[in-house]
Amino acid sequence: MSPAVGFQDATAIAGIAQTAFSKHLEPTEAELACTVIVDACADAGIDPSEINALCSYTMEATEEVDIVRNIGCGEITFFSQVGYGGGAGCGVVGQAAMAVATGQAEVAVAWRSRKRGSGPRPWTSTSVQLRVPGAWTRPFGMLRPVDEIAMLTRRYMHEYGATRDHLANVAMAVRKHANMNPAAIMHDKPMSREDYMASRWVSEPLCLFDNCLETDGALACVIVSAERARDLRHPPVYVHAFAQGLPPEHQTMVNFFNDDPLTGPAWACARRLWANSAFGPEDVNVAQIYDAFSPLILLSLEGYGFCKRGEAGPMTENGNLEWEKGSLPVNTAGGGLSEAYVHGFNLINEGVRQMRGTSTAQVDGAETCLVTSGEGVPTSALLLRR
Amino acid sequence: MASGRSDATTDADALLAQLRAFEGRPSGPPAEARDEVNQAMIRHWVDAMGDDNPVYVDEESARANGFPGVVAPPTMLQAWIMRGYLSQPDGAWKAQRDASGEASAQEQLFDALNAAGFTSVVATNCDQEYVRPIVLGDRLTVTSVIDSVSPEKHTGLGDGHFVTTRLEFTDQHGERVATMRFRILRFRPQSSRPKDVALRPRPAITHDIAFFFEGARNGTLLIQRCAQCGVLRHPPRPACASCGSFEWDTVTASGRGTVYSFVVVHHPQVAAFDYPLPIAVVELEEGTRLVGDLIGIDPADVEIGMPVVAEMVAVDDELTIPMFRPAVPVGAGRVGAVTGDA
Ligand SMILES: [Zn+2]
């Protein structure tokens, strides 16, 4: 596998923005989306009229035409949406960066706006006829993503001897980082191991604190050429490499029918990402790993090669995932578990802050940051550098 | 009309006979309108309804349209004989005692339904038939009769009897001007748990997967097989990833397998399922894996590697799905943990 042609460090993230994160925000998803895109442009020092590429998730409710009409963009010459929910985020930014790197556009915006906190839980309607993949899980009571990830987790624990203590290590590390971040929903709520162990089961072996938050919020970032970024307000955060991954025999999230369910889309994505990169996992200083559920961090640490198969549990020990002494601090703003759950876009913006040196849990001298999207679904990843 | 369903119990037959004895009896004493048909009440009605048809308020327009004079809106029929709300402090039905003070037939019928557990009520139909237009100055009287009581019916709200009341409206000359049939359902409220209406999610049965659910209904667990290279696959799909063939058939699984992984779902709970709910991915001895609920076992006793056997369970009238129970009864004589890993 040879690197993607002309992509490495060709583009940079020049602006980021986010709304407040809350269980309930008053504005509509469309208003939040427009607000945050305009704010990201302001952060970059670029007028919204310059935007000519728009990228988001297939699950995004606000369409490009509505963004354009409301914030006064000019002609849009590239637009794309990436599927698979939480697997999309890095792919959205990656595709925006590809558009800029190939000259399809000059100013690209990627965004996600979602009222998952005050809106309905997507799985609660059991009367809707199921699309085919759901036919093999939903009638049996596996209604939610957490049930599917719990199924993988139980097998993972069985095969490798991982324990609830390992999952608690993940949840506590991420919570600790949220406690340092005033924007995080869990900023004021420390969590002990006892708190974790005492929380109620949701889908055994996963408990309440293995699950992400339910949040209203929106985020956006602005991508321009590396050359232009160097003339803008903030130090450029280069999009060093990007990859997507959809392995053979995969089904949306129900990854337990194939030969090896514990090597999911992250493994396929990682192979391409490292092929595209001048770095390897050993060169990564800080990581933002998609954490709709705490075990996804274990699976992703293995998939992206930070440890060998089955060794992610022990890797969580001794504060190894925590700021500031850990060998690989993860989710330094609190992630989906404790900052906000906006389909992983907050991980992207936190990756940018780490590279700018402005994180509330800044890793000293960090030069590279891995950002990943959801393991378990067709996924994507970004390697950012400064 | 048929007399009672063949599968009705003697009790239900006896109740129906008791209820049917009320058919044809006056529900209560006749009720006379307190006011003659008048322009003021009509005006209030059409204002409230937003009906600007001039024949209800203007003599000339009414005549021009072939009426003898201003007519009352037909659907206002019942309004003419309604009692004021505050005039019935003890409730409408008690006000309908006849002169002797005996409970009306309607009260007796409802008492019988209440005693049999059909304590809830919902209005279901109202049909009106008009003989002639009702005009200013008419003075209406209504007599009501228990028209019919249905056998016990199964409805979305619950099991119950439909009761139809027939109301005959006559004028000051005793001539019939309209008839109304008003139907209610008296039903047995369902237990607080809406198990009967909350069904499990339905799979969309496409051409590619229909065989699986039909097989389950017939008591067999089927696995799709490539007709060209023989590879088994689950979940089913149109083509073979090994050889590309679109030709396939099925094999009947033995139903024996082992627990590959499992979850116990606790919270939040959704109607249609019992919690805590143990669900497994089972690896069949043929090699494919599938999801199935675990039955006949305490969730705390489930272990990966445990041998299980399939059982086709009809979870409702339409849906039959595979579930799995321990191949060896779990309990006193357990012989250590089984570790049949893949
Ligand atoms: Zn084949």
Burial A34-56 (b: 16+ CB within 10 A, else e): bbbbbbbbebbebebeebbbbbb
Report yes or no: B165 and B195 within 8 Å, Cβ to Cβ. Answer: no
- Is the CB of residue B140 less than 8 Å from the CB of residue B134? yes
- B120 CA to chain A: closest CA distance, Å? 26
Contacts of A248 in chain B (CB under 8 A): 241
For B137-170, b/e burial (b = at least 16 CB within 10 A) is ebebbbebbbbbbbbbeeeeebbbbbbbbbbebb
Average the pLDDT over B20-46 and give the result: 91
Q: Are residues B236 and B175 in the same domain?
A: no
Domain shared by B242 and B153, yes or no: no
CB A183 within 8 A of CB A333: yes
Whether residue B238 sits in one domain with residue B97: no
Q: Do B301 and B220 share a structural domain?
A: yes
- For B56-65, b/e burial (b = at least 16 CB within 10 A) is bbeeeebeee
Q: How far is the CA of B133 from the centre of ligand 1 (A)?
A: 77
- At the topology level, CATH places domain A11-119+212-385 in Peroxisomal Thiolase; Chain A, domain 1 (3.40.47)
Question: Measuring CA to CA, which residue among A231, A18, A213 is closest to residue A112?
Answer: A18
Q: Are residues B171 and B104 in the same domain?
A: yes
- Model confidence band, residue B1 (pLDDT cutoffs 50, 70, 90): very low
Q: What is the pLDDT of residues B219-274, one digit of tens each?
A: 999 999 999 999 999 999 999 999 999 999 999 999 999 999 999 999 988 888 99
Cβ within 8 Å, pair B290-A257: yes
Cβ within 8 Å, pair A141-B206: no
Q: Are strands B320-326 and B289-294 parallel, antiparallel or unpaired?
A: parallel
B57 falls within a domain: no
Chain-centre distance for alpha carbon A188: 23
Residue B340 lies in a domain: no
Residue B166, in any domain of the structure? yes
B116/B176 same-domain check: yes
Prediction pTM value: 0.73
Q: Parse chain A into domains and list their residue ranges.
A: 11-119+212-385
Q: Which residue has the higher pLDDT, B198 or A95?
A: A95
Which of B224, B261, B306 is the mutation pick for testing A, counting most A CBs within 10 A? B261
Chain B nearest CA to A195, separation (Å): 18
Q: Is B232 touching A (CB cutoff 8 A)?
A: no
pLDDT of B101: 66
Assess if residue B52 is contained within a domain. no
Cα A268 to averaged position of ligand 1 atoms, centre (Å)? 24
| Residue that has been written with the tokens 């086709």 in this structure | B312
CATH assignment at residue B223: 2.40.50.840
State whether residue B291 sits within 8 Å of chain A by CB.
yes
Count of CB atoms situated within 10 Å of the CB of B39: 13
Which pLDDT band holds residue B157 (cuts at 50, 70, 90)?
confident
Contact between residue A272 and residue A1 where contact means Cβ atoms under 8 Å apart: yes
Q: Which residue of B has its CA nearest to A125?
A: B201
> Is the confidence at residue B276, as pLDDT, over 50?
yes
Contacts of B341 in chain A (CB under 8 A): 158-159
* Percentage, residues of chain B above pLDDT 70: 87
Contacts of A158 in chain B (CB under 8 A): 261, 304, 341
Of the given ranges (A250-264, B196-210, B324-338), which has the lowest mean pLDDT? B324-338
Q: Is the dihedral of CA A41, A44, A49, A55 positive or negative?
A: negative
Q: Which residues of B touch A200 (CB under 8 A)?
A: 266-267
Better pLDDT: B12 or A193: A193
Cβ contact, residue pair A133, B270, below 8 Å: no
Q: Are B120 and B250 part of one and the same domain? A: no
Residue A352 clears pLDDT 80, i.e. is over it: yes
Catalytic residues of A: 290, 341
**Beta-carbon separation of A256 and B289 below 8 A:** yes
Report helix, strand or coil for B335: coil
Q: Examine the domain organization and report whether B19 and B99 are in the same domain.
A: yes
Non-local (6+) Cβ contacts of A216 within 8 A are A21, A22, A23, A24, A25, A32, A114, A115, A116, A117, A118, A119
- Report the separation in Å between the CA atom of B206 and the middle of ligand 1, taken as the mean of its atom positions: 21
Q: B331 CB contacts (<8 Å, ≥6 apart)? A: none
Nearest Cβ partner for B201 among A126, A132, A203: A126
Estimate to the nearest angstrom the gap between the alpha carbon of B23 and the chain centroid.
25
Ligand 1 center to B243 CA (angstroms): 4
* Cβ-Cβ contacts under 8 Å for B209 (sequence gap 6 or more): A132, A135, B203, B235, B236
Q: Does B21 contact chain A (CB < 8 Å)?
A: no
pLDDT of residue B191: 60
Six-digit token pair at A156?
Answer: 């993972």
Chain B residues touching A249 at Cβ < 8 A: 241
C-alpha span between B169 and B178 (Å, rounded): 5
Per-residue pLDDT, B268: 87
> What's the confidence (pLDDT) of residue A128?
61
Picking from A126, A132, A257, the nearest residue to B270 by CB comes out as: A126
Distance B234 CA to ligand 1 centre (A): 13
CB-CB under 8 Å, B200 with A126: yes
Helix (H, G, I), strand (E, B) or coil at A114: strand
Any idea which residue has 């595979």 for tokens? B322
Contact at 8 Å (CB) between A146 and A206? Answer: yes
CA distances from A272 to A69, A277, A381 (A): 37, 9, 10
Cα–ligand 1 centroid distance for B251 (angstroms): 14
Chosen domain end from B156, B187, B218? B187
Q: How many domains does chain B have?
A: 2
Checking if the pLDDT of B337 tops 50, the result is no
Q: Rounded to an integer, what distance in angstroms lies between the CA atom of residue A54 and that of residue A80?
A: 7
Asked if A132 and B209 come within 8 Å (Cβ–Cβ), the reply is yes
pLDDT value at position B307? 98
Chain A residue with minimum CA distance to B242: A249
Is position B82 within any domain?
A: yes
Judgement on whether residues B242 and B178 belong to the same structural domain of the protein: no
> Which residue segment(s) compose the domain that B161 sits in?
10-37+72-187
Closest-CA residue of B relative to A138 is B201
Listing DSSP states for A142-189 in one string gives --SHHHHHHHHHHHHHHHH---HHHHHHHHHHHHHHHHT-TTSTTTT-
CA distance A157 to chain B (A): 10
In which band, very low, low, confident or very high, does the pLDDT at B29 lie, cut at 50, 70 and 90? confident
B84 band by pLDDT with thresholds 50, 70 and 90: low
Residue B48 belongs to a domain: no
β-pair partners for A12: A224, A238
- The residue in chain A having the minimum alpha-carbon distance to the alpha carbon of residue B213 is A135
- B163 and B130: one domain? yes
Q: Where residue A309 falls among pLDDT bands split at 50, 70, 90?
A: very high
Cβ of A124 and B270 within 8 Å?
yes
B21 lies in the same domain as B136: yes
Q: Quote the minimal CA–CA distance from B55 to chain A in Å.
A: 48
B281 at A interface, C-beta within 8 A: yes
Peptide bond between residue B268 and the one before it cis (omega within 30 degrees of 0): yes
Give the pLDDT score at B94.
45
Could you tell me if B177 and B230 lie in one domain? no
Q: Which sign does the torsion angle of CA A43, A46, A47, A51 carry?
A: negative
pLDDT the model gives residue B158: 80
